[in-house]
Chain A
Amino acid sequence: MTAILPDRTETEEWTEVCRLEQVPAEGGVAALVGGEAVAIFRDHLDEVHALSNVCPFARASVLSRGIVGTRGGVPFVASPMLKQPFRLSDGVCLDDEAVRVDTWDVKVDAGVVLVGAKRTPA
């Protein structure tokens, strides 16, 4: 499970999106959160990540349909359009670090996946 900044959890608004088992292991699903398409992924360590579903290269809402794998042990999703790899933990493109997709806070509570606020990049 992704670490959540403790000071934000109190006030943060969380949206229930699905049960954890609805997210395939080493795969993703798309969810609608606040009118935005968010891709929810589960990596091989069972950690859950929330990235924008829109591939910045293809400008299409498709990332949740990409293949999830590892590069040097780092979990990533390959865009189903032109295969650019995005790190699941922070949305950074592994081939071009200047490009990143938005990420959201996400947690699993009692088997339910909840998406919180959009993160601001460090």
Chain B
Amino acid sequence: MSQRERLVVVGHGMVGHRLVQAAIERGLTERYDVVVLGEEPRAAYDRVALTSYFSATCAEELSLLPGGSYDHDAVELRLSTEVVAIDRDARTVTTRDKVCGTETTVAYDQLVLATGAAPFVPPVPGREHEGVFVYRTIEDLDAIREASHTATSGIVIGGGLLGLEAANALVQLGLQTHVVEMAPRLMPVQLDQAGGSTLVRHIEKLGVSVHTGVMTEAITADEAGRVNGLALKDAAPVEAQVVVFSAGIRPRDLLARECGLEVADRGGVLVDDQCHSSDERIWAIGECAAPAGRMYGLVAPGYDMAEVVVDALLDGPGRFTGADMSTKLKLLGVDVASFGDAFATTEGSLELVYSDAVAGVYKKLVVTEDGSRLLGGILVGDAAAYGLLRPMVSSGIPLPENPEELILPASRGGSTGSGVAALPDEAQICSCNNVSKGDIVHAVEHDGCEDVASVKKCTNAGTTCGSCVTSVKAIIEDHFAKTGREVNRALCEHFAVSRSELFEIVAIHGYRTFADVLEAHGTGRGCDICKPTVASILASQFNEHVLEGRHRGLQDTNDAFLANIQKNGTYSVVPRIPGGEVTPEGLIVIGEVARDFGLYTKITGGQRIDMFGARLEDLPLIWGRLVDAGFESGHAYGKSLRTVKSCVGSEWCRYGVQESVSMAIRLELRYRGLRSPHKLKGGVSGCARECAEARGKDFGVIATDKGWNLYVGGNGGATPAHAQLLAGDLDDETLVRYLDRFLMYYVRTADRLQRTAPWIDSLDGGLDRVKAVVVDDVLGLGSELEREMDRHVASYFDEWKATLEDPEKLSRFVSFVNAPGVPDPNISFTTERDQIRPVNHDEPVVLGSTIPVGGPR
């Protein structure tokens, strides 16, 4: 086949996007040009996480396609482009540009409808008033936010899954929030009466008023047509200035109806198990489709349909045979899960219930008549068992003898987490990414995965909603136990314990030297792994000079000479420039030093200046000049705080809302010199434009009009990670307190050379755990962590100044012990772009081209 065909995709939501991704990944683009027509002004975004838009700094953060286009020649994405008609005979669609109104015709060979669904607004009188919204797009949220500025309370009509999400949004906007549900309970599709009641109690604690079993009679308005409340049947009216409809969704199948495609009785383009419509060239996927007449309002089945269509176009055998409608989510901070036959509709099925009204926990298992197999269940308030239970339903394996143990709390004989051992290999563990237990075991057995982080990377399990991570961990541990393999946490051959255990050992026993730690808890003499690790732990806790006699031999390459070694054995020098703020005089001193010592200069990513090519014996001379001019060590050489980058800040910037420079300086001066498991970087942005790129840092602070948002766990480097929100709208003091706790918690518990992002991933519970410890102080460690940080701050001193004052420490900064002033003949430089650079080993040495570099003598 030489002629390329054209695949047109109508709709660029999550499902349409997945289809295009699959088309690219599976090579469909080798045969087809793909044209994607998106009606919204922006590319596909994560609608499931819509509520997080309010805590996000910009819409881009939710985007599934940052940058707004596919990096592929065969794929064209047209946004703000609405499809108004399909001509099946001519095989064309007519599009209208939503900005300028131009109509265009696009021909197709294959057409995929992924138009999604629209919010259903019941015919309630008054629904046209100003202040009435739906909850579906970023534009809807922008409008709700705008309206919330002048409102004090808001109502969500609909107490289902989406309705509670919308209620969460209103709570976040600071509105007194009501939820009105016609059914006698919340989440009527997923929960039974008892589960619903448990959920209500949780939600009411958050200040949300729940009205179930009530009918909305009308939306009332003032004389100007602005909403002022809700009239309810047989109940007192509720006052509100914002009303959000979340009463379900309806498939957007109008295009299909108008061109005569078959539709299902209850709406949706009727498709077969390959997602083929009644026209052989037209397909439908996601919420606009109705495979076998049924519409699916979740994203996972939509993704499956997208994969099925791509497979079919490649002549594959894929079929869509229905979807697991199990749900697990955190609604307003409450865990809720519903899976399998949650309502015990199977004939003869029995229910096992555990309920603790005080703790707000409700758990129900539905089992077969003979109690041998699990059919489904409901979990509210504690859904930890979900990861284990859901695969038990789909795999149909026999229940253990005392199935109640599966839902009892651990303290009463329950066995959360275990039990995965009994699952068969084909049991699906991660439903978001369709990863089975067998896949996980395979990754451990054959791909060298040893922990949750590596299994996640290898299989994608747990990377979407994260609800299965506990099970993944249990499977790995179970597999190790079965094969007699121990998870080796040993630091190296000299210490059988991990870094965090060593940290505690040092803290408890108060050891002050490597020799003491080794004697009490290690074997042999140490090595290049344990020595720097212990040195760092000692420095974190006692902050003695790292070049003190008893610590000196432990220091890693750069710490050993308080400078960064470069490829030819010379060093680079970085004085601290807090927050990137430097005076002209400071710049001149740096320039003079670099010039006088013949150093190559470059601006770093952390807003300071790096001077390269310093010979070991010149370091004290260079630092003598810098310290005299008021500079101090920048710790660019240490596994310690590097910089806190800042933007221009509100004192100069016309957009700034907070003084980011002062805050960055304050934080950099507070945490300077703190030795940690890996390097640490921070950033402070003065407004949501985020010019300091703070979310790419281990801790990022972004100004809001009310204070600061604190993000943690950002990383550049080989595995980039965006920092995630730890707490919002903090005042200066709370921000510093939370940061003290966060950093000390990291310093205490992370592995050697583990940066903050993988550290958070490795914690049981991930970011939620960090929040619990840092913000909610569940371990009661808060003040202890703060005290430790205070102690560090009080003990800070400039390492370079102290080195210059100590002849003993200085004596090591020589080229040769027997010829201290003679430059090492192995080092030579050439010039490039008017500065020095090391001579490469493979280039010929041109006599006369090398220049001797040394201090003024």
Within 8 A of B (CB), among A66-107: 66-73, 75-76, 78, 80-81, 83, 85
A15 and B812 alpha carbons, distance in the complex (Å)? 21
Q: Is B553 touching A26 in the complex (CB atoms < 8 A)?
A: yes
Query: Given that A26-B525, A37-B826, A54-B826 are contacting pairs, would A68 and B553 also be in contact in the complex, using a CB cutoff of 8 Å?
Result: yes
Q: Is B824 touching A69 in the complex (CB atoms < 8 A)?
A: no
> A70's contact among B524, B556, B827, by CB below 8 Å, is which?
B524
A44 interfacial by beta-carbon distance below 8 Å = yes
A32 interfacial by beta-carbon distance below 8 Å = yes
A40 and B553 alpha carbons, distance in the complex (Å)? 14
How many chain B residues have a CB neighbour from A under 8 Å?
34
Within 8 A of A (CB), among B507-548: 524-528, 530-532
CB distance from A74 to the nearest CB of B (A): 10
A117 interfacial by beta-carbon distance below 8 Å = no
A29 and B418 alpha carbons, distance in the complex (Å)? 55
Chain B residue with the shortest CB-CB distance to A18: B817
B493 interfacial by beta-carbon distance below 8 Å = yes
Q: Is A67 touching B569 in the complex (CB atoms < 8 A)?
A: no
Chain B residue with the shortest CB-CB distance to A35: B825
Q: Is A65 touching B816 in the complex (CB atoms < 8 A)?
A: no
Q: Which A residues are in CB contact (< 8 Å) with B569?
A: 58, 60-62
Q: Is A70 touching B825 in the complex (CB atoms < 8 A)?
A: no
Q: Is B816 touching A30 in the complex (CB atoms < 8 A)?
A: yes
Q: Flag the segment in B230-238, B323-331, B559-567 that touches A.
A: B559-567
Q: Is A24 touching B826 in the complex (CB atoms < 8 A)?
A: no
CB distance from A114 to the nearest CB of B (A): 11
Q: Which B residues are in CB contact (< 8 Å) with A66?
A: 528, 557
How many chain A residues have a CB neighbour from B under 8 Å?
41
Q: Which A residues are in CB contact (< 8 Å) with B384?
A: none
Q: Is A31 touching B526 in the complex (CB atoms < 8 A)?
A: no
B2 interfacial by beta-carbon distance below 8 Å = no
A85 and B817 alpha carbons, distance in the complex (Å)? 23
Query: Given that A37-B825, A69-B527, A69-B531 are contacting pairs, would A17 and B818 also be in contact in the complex, using a CB cutoff of 8 Å?
Result: yes
Q: Which A residues are in CB contact (< 8 Å) with B528?
A: 66-67, 69, 78, 83, 85
Q: Is B816 touching A31 in the complex (CB atoms < 8 A)?
A: yes
Q: Which B residues are in CB contact (< 8 Å) with A78?
A: 527-528
Q: Which secondary structure characterizes the binding site on chain B?
A: loop
Within 8 A of B (CB), among A15-34: 15-18, 22-27, 29-32
> A37's contact among B525, B565, B816, by CB below 8 Å, is which?
B816
Q: Is B493 touching A71 in the complex (CB atoms < 8 A)?
A: yes
Q: Is A37 touching B824 in the complex (CB atoms < 8 A)?
A: yes
Chain A residue with the shortest CB-CB distance to B525: A70
B434 interfacial by beta-carbon distance below 8 Å = no
A70 and B816 alpha carbons, distance in the complex (Å)? 25
Q: Which A residues are in CB contact (< 8 Å) with B557?
A: 65-66, 80-81
> B552's contact among A27, A29, A30, A75, by CB below 8 Å, is which?
A27
Q: Which B residues are in CB contact (< 8 Å) with A26?
A: 525-526, 553
> B815's contact among A22, A30, A81, by CB below 8 Å, is which?
A30
Q: Which B residues are in CB contact (< 8 Å) with A61?
A: 569, 824, 826-827
CB distance from A67 to the nearest CB of B (A): 4
CB distance from B610 to the nearest CB of A (A): 18
B650 interfacial by beta-carbon distance below 8 Å = no
A17 and B553 alpha carbons, distance in the complex (Å)? 21
Chain A residue with the shortest CB-CB distance to B824: A61
Q: Is A16 touching B818 in the complex (CB atoms < 8 A)?
A: yes
B460 interfacial by beta-carbon distance below 8 Å = no
Q: Is A44 touching B554 in the complex (CB atoms < 8 A)?
A: no
* A–B complex contacts, Cβ < 8 Å, 19 sampled: A23-B817, A26-B553, A30-B817, A31-B818, A32-B818, A35-B825, A60-B567, A60-B568, A62-B565, A65-B557, A67-B531, A67-B532, A67-B553, A68-B553, A69-B530, A70-B525, A70-B526, A71-B493, A78-B528
A: which residues have CB within 8 A of B? 15-18, 22-27, 29-32, 35, 37, 40, 44, 53-54, 58-62, 65-73, 75-76, 78, 80-81, 83, 85
B: which residues have CB within 8 A of A? 493-494, 524-528, 530-532, 552-557, 560-561, 565, 567-569, 812, 815-819, 822, 824-827, 841
Contacts A26-B553, A31-B817, A32-B818 given; 20 further ones with Cβ under 8 A? A15-B818, A26-B526, A27-B553, A29-B812, A30-B815, A31-B819, A32-B816, A35-B825, A37-B816, A37-B825, A60-B569, A65-B560, A67-B527, A67-B531, A67-B556, A69-B525, A69-B528, A70-B524, A72-B493, A78-B528
